[in-house]
Structure 1
Amino acid sequence: MPTAKTLTALSNWNTALVQTLNAHRQLLVVSGSAHYCKDVVDQLTQQYRDQETLLLGTFLYPGNNSLNIAAYRHVLGAEYSLAIVDTFDAFRPNAVLAVAGTVTQGGLMVICCPDFNQWPVYREASTGHYLSYGEQLQFSQLRAAILMQFGDTSNVAILRENYAPELPELNSAQPPVAPPSPFKSEEQQRLFNLITGGQPIGSALLTADRGRGKSTLLGIIAGHYMATQAQSVIITSRYAESVNQVFTGVLLTCPQVTQIDRHQVSFNELTCRWLPLDHPLLTNITDSTLLLIDEAASIPVPQLTALCNQAKHLLLSTTVRGYEGSGRGFITRFIPWLKQHRPDIHHYELQTPIRWYEGDPLERFWYRALCMDTTVLANGEVEPEETLCSSTICYEALDKGQFDSSTNRQLLPLLMQAHYQTTADELVRLYDSPANNTLLAIRDNEVIGVLNYQQEGGALLRDVANDIACGARRVNGHLSAQGLSMLLASSAMATATYWRINRIAVLPRFRRKGIATTLINRLLQQAKTAGVDALTTSYGATPSLTAFWNTNDFVPAKPGLKRDASSGEYSLLMFLPLSQLMLDVQALITQRFSQELLLHPAPESFGCQAPFSPFAVNESIRACTLTILEQVINGSRSLQHARGSVAWLLETQSEAITDNESKAVLEDFVANSNKLNTLTERYRLSGKRETERFISSHIGRVLTR
């Protein structure tokens, strides 16, 4: 329990923060037992009882006053004077960055954590999102690095149980000259004038870091056009809560609106309303309607492009600094699409913070602590041809214990530049997952290439291998082991050992110079020495990527059936066999790939032809296929993971099938495997589940007879 002296010191310091004119935001770290942290939080929430507060994490306060740590995206767009992150629950970099962006000028962000000596080895309440099945975290290098930065940063306040409080002197900012109402920065006013210009609405994209007023500006523009151009407005976003600031902006330029409900206002028979992304009205937007898309980077790219094709008048805003859904996918995939298909949409960036002041120590601390201060890297062209002697490039393994080194601080920015799914949360996997390792290519102290790989399979899956093989069990991680085990209905594939290449990236100006291939070859040699059964990789398939992996001797193994939410691409698992075990099943894997590709909804997207006929007949493919179909009949395997096997059965055993009714049903299934609803209607079934049971029963009838 904190001493009375500690609580008094905290109360006085916090009172001074609240009363200091133009005070910068502050970070307070509270470290100790759960009881100690709760007592401190209780005092803080009492002091802020009349202001907006947030408690993210449910370990310290499991009741209704706290928000689940995984729900951090729901606070985007909100503003808090006091925001508390409970890391007893979990330390999630994405969540920390999101919460830091909600704290208003002069506000306080609090990190509650176990005692500094215990935090790196502490088992989090909701741990495991980054650990594969069977892995155990022994020591968190990331949390240890964050602790070092807490202690090394002079303006971080620390309350540590059984230690004297460390409460730094409070600093004030020099506020900028206020622009005319309703704008909060000259930049907001300038962009408003550029976009509106006294003419009918133009289309625009606004990007910025958190707290720059982009959502409010979106609303200011929308309110202006409601009032002056008689245009209705539709707002959409992934989360309803994120658009509160948009409605605030609407009220600034159209104060006459009437509130209908929390998601809709009206003015002179015009409406401004929020609609969820799957609302049918979004597929029929009139030319006189302005569509606003807020936090666009959190929306899957295919859905986003569809919306942009629907709306003639369009305003988008988003944050892209690493933690908003598919932020890099938005930059690397959506913006190029936008330039090509919607050249009328002008891209503007906001730099000036309005939720806090320039030089804000809270933003600066977290951007540095989580390697976000250098993530905005130029996608430059490849430099003129130069000779890269092998001696000038050093290849070495990532030293997880040197998080704050210059080399390590370049790792996340390079990965974020190259991979649309990389966010700050990747730091947890890079530094804390025992099975995750990284190779670096370094030239003149600059990281120019990265290969990250994950160890999978082996003894960790021995107790669940049979369940994985038949489709009855799916565990966390082990993508390759589980994918190949399911593909062949083989428990031996689950317990084989794999090194899966999870990320590979090269700086733009060094691409096409053999660096990625060299990294792969170095990993290959290490894998052979370690006795690994196979190298694998899985990625959003494009013909060019598939060609790259083919060039490096990887062959296709398993096509994904669902499009990735961020990229709109299908995944493709490829492998490079190393051991005799994998060489012995390579032909069978290739045959099964040919089966699965046969009925895939977009086989051309993988950029590869089926190496063998999907209807090859031999004892191994026969035994594998019949095992898969038996698993479907007994209910352990989903029908969608047996579609190619059904086609094989019909093609190769046609003359032996005497049940004509069942044969006709299965032929119907093969012809409509990508639109099961057709079969649901044709056979008057109640839904997808009953349709699959219906088809499975006919598979059973065929095999029985």
Structure 2
Amino acid sequence: MTSGMVAPDTYAWRSLQASLAARGERRLVLLEGARDLSMQWLQALTPSLELEGGLWVGVASDALDGRLTSIEPAKARQWLGRETSLLVWDGWRGNPPDALAALTGTLKAGGLLFWLMPPLKEWGHFADPDYARTGLDHGQAHPFAERMAGILAADPSVIRVRPDLPCTLPELSAPHCEFTVATTPDQQGLIQKLVAFGLGRRRRPLVVTADRGRGKSAALGMAAAQLLLQGRRQVLVTAPSRDNVDALFEHARGSLGAEVLEANHDRIETVSGAQLRFLPIRDLLREKPEAEVVMVDEAAAIPVFLLKLVLLGWPRVAFASTVHGYEGAGRGFAIRFRQILDQATPQWQSQTLSQPVRWVKGDPLELLISGLFLLGAEHNPGDLPEAEVGEVVIEPWQPAQASEAKLADAFGLLVDAHYRTTPADLRQWMDEPAARSWRAHINGKTVGVLWGAVEGGLSKELAAQVASGKRRVRGNLLPQSLASHSGFPEAASQRGLRIIRIAVTAQARRVGIGRGLVAAAAAGAEQEGLDFTGTSFGGSSDLYDFWASCGLEFVRIGLRQEATSGEYPVQMAYAGSAEGMSLVQQVRARLARHWLVLVPLNWKDLEPGLLAEMTAGLPSECWPDAADIRDLQNFGGGHRGFRLMVPVLRDLSLGFGVMSWLRGHEEANLWCRAVLQGWSWPELQREGLCSGQRDGEDRLRTVVLELLQNGPEL
């Protein structure tokens, strides 16, 4: 035995696993103390434990049992939809919250999560190696970790082990009925609904939502089997990765039984020739194979713009997603995707699962993880009176100093409002010294939250390297973007407040609370001596309108679509100092000079309404001269061809007030696509903007005539 270590009672631990399995429960085992002693203690214990599907999360060479699969926290997403019996998490090597929350969802009944960490009293000042990745290695206190330590210390279900002290395990009573994994009434109802949907009418998509561990993947697999047995020839499945659908394929195979002719990793074929196939999402969209039914599992982890393409590409599509999970995407997915469903397929259906399958309802580990990471945080403003601006109080707020109830309420509001708000965001919000937050409340009830961060302030030398593309500095998203892409090093030297998240409760919208929060943040930034207030967001017309209404001006749009939303990142800013004003003016003037060349090269697929708004918001750089006016008159009269007119029409788009006038015209989309984005006539025809070249040119001629007669003075 190693000096200083008390050997674990292997019989007691095996008995604990068996008792937990019988009760349908799981537990966290917190191994506190020196890492080397904890490793030795575990090495003495693991040979006697049930390890089927066990994971070691940490450095692979440190794994203490050959039966454990070693993974890095960054690979946690690949384990969605899979099962494990034991997790050993080496917290001394880093604790990314998203990955930790995700992997606990894979533990089945009887499972143990061993978490190697320093003593709880040291957590607030523990230099977690994961902090460096997100800029939290600042050496100050970490309220997020302190909060977790407090929750763990107060939870009687947590088994706390000191390797140098004897350990007493909890005595668990035998259940009245031993837990077994079986199809729940919830699942049966979902299977019936899925089969009816798969055999039913077209364009009635089904959205399935559930917390993790509710057996939605299994239900999808059993329903897929039923559909194949009842006459469907092709059922396609997609997900973020093939590993996500292991349970789906396993249950489909089991349900088909002797009807399976052939089965491999990606395909099951029945004796009648019907097939269940897996295709990665992008392969599915590229190949577009025929299928009566498409099932999308783990849909919240797939960008919404890809989900929309699947929705529109096949007659019957089912989407399954978690609503509370480490992805932080579940409820944001439900809210955001609901808008698309309402517009494209208003007769869509929904189904939820609430009863756990892999563990018992009220499982201590599920409740603990949910509390640690606020996975189930709900915003509940209660019964608000008709909100009036005078009743709303907006003030600076520190989430790290808030009560647990107020923190959960505010975080729940952010989760509801944003596509992807994760446990890692909660840590960043609480621990980042550069964070600045404001809260709006009515009679003490939170109705709005704004979270920002101070960025920039780089030295002139470093700012010049950033602007030239030679260096990237972690964080500082907005200053670095403006410096490197707009070409102004001073953007990285100046200091600004970037608004990261803003949310207003649904019951209190459209009375100016959002604008009030932005105004409070901008005023706070000026008081702090910052040069600008800005934001970066996935570009859409409604968001652009909001930020413009707050006084922010368009300064940049990214060249690549965001992986999560499929939208181009748009950046807007409001100057708070003389230096900031000079910078914003220079950036906008340069963007306007380059705009007409950049648009057709980079943003041909940008939504035309947003393009029109951004173009209208740029400084007027082009003024038609006498020759241009004459060409416009000739074009309007049908005496000059469109191809010769493109330069003039593009320049005209940046004339003072022209695009603001064009935005209200019924042919605004045609103008943006044909003139600014350079679409071909066949492309325009496929979009339904014209019936061909002659029709398209005639429509544009009419616009030009109306502009000359009724538009702004040229």
Tell me the TM-score normalized by structure 1: 0.80
Match of 1:526 in 2: 524
Change over 3 Å in CA distance of 1:142–1:614 after alignment to 2: same
The one-letter code sitting in structure 1 at the alignment partner of 2:94 is A
Question: Is 1:207–1:320's contact at 8 Å kept on the other side of the alignment?
Answer: yes
CA distance in 2, matches of 1:16, 1:326: 35
Deviation at 1:415, TM superposition (A): 0.5
Match of 2:128 in 1: 124
Question: Is 2:197–2:206's contact at 8 Å kept on the other side of the alignment?
Answer: no
| Equivalent in 601, 604, 619 of residue 612 of structure 1 | 619
CA distance in 1, matches of 2:197, 2:414: 43
| Equivalent in 68, 80, 101 of residue 97 of structure 1 | 101
Q: How big is each residue's C-alpha offset from its partner over 1:381-415, in whole Å with a ceiling of 9 and x where there is no partner?
A: x977344544x63623215245x532222221110
CA distance in 1, matches of 2:556, 2:198: 53
Match of 2:339 in 1: 336
| Equivalent in 158, 162, 167 of residue 160 of structure 1 | 162
Question: Is 1:93–1:424's contact at 8 Å kept on the other side of the alignment?
Answer: yes
The one-letter code sitting in structure 2 at the alignment partner of 1:417 is D
Match of 1:151 in 2: 153
Change over 3 Å in CA distance of 1:589–1:260 after alignment to 2: same
Tell me the TM-score normalized by structure 2: 0.79
| Equivalent in 313, 317, 324 of residue 314 of structure 1 | 317
Structure 2 matches for 1:262-277, cutoff 5 A?
A: 262-268=265-271, 269-277=273-281
Match of 1:694 in 2: none
CA distance in 1, matches of 2:86, 2:350: 33
The one-letter code sitting in structure 2 at the alignment partner of 1:385 is E
Structure 2 matches for 1:108-257, cutoff 5 A?
A: 108-131=112-135, 136-163=138-165, 165=167, 167-170=169-172, 184-197=183-196, 200-201=199-200, 203-256=205-258, 257=260
Whether 2:343 is the aligned partner of 1:346: answer no
| Equivalent in 354, 359, 362 of residue 362 of structure 2 | 359
Change over 3 Å in CA distance of 1:120–1:258 after alignment to 2: farther
Match of 2:436 in 1: 437
The one-letter code sitting in structure 2 at the alignment partner of 1:451 is L
Q: Secondary structure at the match of 2:88?
A: strand
CA distance in 1, matches of 2:495, 2:451: 17
Match of 2:423 in 1: 424
Change over 3 Å in CA distance of 1:281–1:534 after alignment to 2: closer
Match of 1:300 in 2: 303
Question: Is 1:56–1:66's contact at 8 Å kept on the other side of the alignment?
Answer: yes
Higher mean alpha-carbon deviation, 13-22 vs 138-147, is at 13-22
Deviation at 1:496, TM superposition (A): 0.7
Match of 2:80 in 1: 76
Match of 1:634 in 2: none
Q: Secondary structure at the match of 1:349?
A: strand
Deviation at 1:344, TM superposition (A): 4.9
Deviation at 1:92, TM superposition (A): 2.1
Q: How big is each residue's C-alpha offset from its partner over 1:472-529, in whole Å with a ceiling of 9 and x where there is no partner?
A: 2222210121122124423222111111111111111111222222222222232222
The one-letter code sitting in structure 2 at the alignment partner of 1:231 is R
CA distance in 2, matches of 1:399, 1:297: 27
Question: Is 2:198–2:227's contact at 8 Å kept on the other side of the alignment?
Answer: no
CA distance in 2, matches of 1:281, 1:562: 19
Change over 3 Å in CA distance of 1:276–1:195 after alignment to 2: closer
Match of 1:51 in 2: 52
The one-letter code sitting in structure 1 at the alignment partner of 2:82 is A
Deviation at 1:554, TM superposition (A): 1.2
CA distance in 1, matches of 2:566, 2:177: 44
Higher mean alpha-carbon deviation, 507-516 vs 20-29, is at 20-29
Match of 2:657 in 1: none
The alignment of Structure 1 onto Structure 2 pairs a total of residues equal to 616
Match of 2:672 in 1: none
CA distance in 1, matches of 2:278, 2:198: 25
Match of 1:517 in 2: 515
Match of 2:645 in 1: none
CA distance in 1, matches of 2:617, 2:285: 41
Whether 2:393 is the aligned partner of 1:393: answer yes
Q: How big is each residue's C-alpha offset from its partner over 1:414-440, in whole Å with a ceiling of 9 and x where there is no partner?
A: 101111121222111111222122112
- Give unmatched runs, 5+ long, in structure 1: 617-646, 652-669, 676-705
The one-letter code sitting in structure 2 at the alignment partner of 1:581 is E
Match of 1:16 in 2: 16
Deviation at 1:671, TM superposition (A): 10
CA distance in 1, matches of 2:439, 2:195: 48
Deviation at 1:280, TM superposition (A): 5.4
Change over 3 Å in CA distance of 1:503–1:84 after alignment to 2: same
Whether 2:471 is the aligned partner of 1:469: answer no
CA distance in 2, matches of 1:259, 1:238: 25
The one-letter code sitting in structure 2 at the alignment partner of 1:196 is V
Structure 2 matches for 1:581-620, cutoff 5 A?
A: 581-598=579-596, 599-600=598-599, 601=603, 602=606, 604-605=609-610, 607-608=613-614, 609-613=616-620
Question: Is 2:206–2:350's contact at 8 Å kept on the other side of the alignment?
Answer: yes
CA distance in 2, matches of 1:69, 1:614: 50
CA distance in 2, matches of 1:489, 1:57: 41
| Equivalent in 370, 393, 406 of residue 373 of structure 2 | 370
Q: Secondary structure at the match of 1:434?
A: coil
Question: Is 2:532–2:577's contact at 8 Å kept on the other side of the alignment?
Answer: yes
Deviation at 1:174, TM superposition (A): 5.7
Deviation at 1:93, TM superposition (A): 2.1
Question: Is 1:38–1:60's contact at 8 Å kept on the other side of the alignment?
Answer: no
Question: Is 2:19–2:174's contact at 8 Å kept on the other side of the alignment?
Answer: no
CA distance in 2, matches of 1:220, 1:262: 17
Change over 3 Å in CA distance of 1:533–1:610 after alignment to 2: same
Q: How big is each residue's C-alpha offset from its partner over 1:14-37, in whole Å with a ceiling of 9 and x where there is no partner?
A: 423324532421111112222123
CA distance in 2, matches of 1:482, 1:177: 55
Question: Is 1:34–1:60's contact at 8 Å kept on the other side of the alignment?
Answer: no
Change over 3 Å in CA distance of 1:126–1:400 after alignment to 2: closer
Match of 1:628 in 2: none
Change over 3 Å in CA distance of 1:551–1:61 after alignment to 2: same
Change over 3 Å in CA distance of 1:150–1:593 after alignment to 2: same
Q: How big is each residue's C-alpha offset from its partner over 1:630-671, in whole Å with a ceiling of 9 and x where there is no partner?
A: xxxxxxxxxxxxxxxxx99xx9xxxxxxxxxxxxxxxxxx99
Question: Is 1:439–1:452's contact at 8 Å kept on the other side of the alignment?
Answer: yes
Match of 1:691 in 2: none
The one-letter code sitting in structure 2 at the alignment partner of 1:471 is G
Match of 2:34 in 1: 33
Q: Secondary structure at the match of 1:481?
A: helix
Q: Secondary structure at the match of 2:41?
A: helix
Q: How big is each residue's C-alpha offset from its partner over 1:563-605, in whole Å with a ceiling of 9 and x where there is no partner?
A: 2222222221111112221222332111123245432312642
CA distance in 2, matches of 1:476, 1:291: 40
Deviation at 1:119, TM superposition (A): 3.2
CA distance in 1, matches of 2:455, 2:394: 27
Higher mean alpha-carbon deviation, 41-50 vs 567-576, is at 41-50
CA distance in 2, matches of 1:394, 1:307: 42
Q: How big is each residue's C-alpha offset from its partner over 1:213-258, in whole Å with a ceiling of 9 and x where there is no partner?
A: 1000000011111122142222111111110000122023201224
Q: Secondary structure at the match of 2:361?
A: coil
Change over 3 Å in CA distance of 1:90–1:8 after alignment to 2: closer
CA distance in 1, matches of 2:42, 2:17: 16
Deviation at 1:314, TM superposition (A): 2.3
Higher mean alpha-carbon deviation, 256-265 vs 349-358, is at 256-265
- Give unmatched runs, 5+ long, in structure 2: 624-649, 655-674, 681-714
Change over 3 Å in CA distance of 1:671–1:504 after alignment to 2: closer
The one-letter code sitting in structure 1 at the alignment partner of 2:290 is T
The one-letter code sitting in structure 2 at the alignment partner of 1:503 is R
